[in-house]
Amino acid sequence: MIKSLISSVALGNLAQASIAESNNPSRTLVLLDSYATIETHSLFFRHLEDKLGHHLDFEMADSKVNFKQFDQWRYENVVLMAPSIKGKSPKD
């Protein structure tokens, strides 16, 4: 009986964590060298959004991107999909 009670509590905690995670999607910036990448990698991006709960923002890699706003990071994740951009690093 104690084992089933512990299992029920653990399952409830796991369900609560899943609900909390889905209510606060992870903000992810996708840096592109071409907007065509959105179409060619649509399954990957859809998986990030639908299955993993990410909110995706797409920007061109050669554009000026603000990673911080009011001393807060704007994104938890960055996906680099820009193989043609070389030798550049983001500045804070």
Rounded Cα distance, 77 and 31, in Å:
11
Look up residue 87 and give its two tokens: 């030798």
| Domain spans in the chain, listed from the N-terminal domain onward | 25-84
pLDDT of residue 69: 85
Rounded Cα distance, 55 and 82, in Å:
19
79: β partners? 30
pLDDT of residue 51: 92
Q: Is the dihedral of CA 48, 50, 53, 58 positive or negative?
A: positive
pLDDT of residue 5: 37
pLDDT of residue 66: 83
Instruction: Provide block-wise average pLDDT over 10 residues at a time, the chain (92 residues).
Output: 41 42 78 92 94 94 85 90 72 53
pLDDT of residue 44: 94
Overall pTM surpassing 0.85 (yes/no): no
Q: Indicate the residue type of 70.
A: F
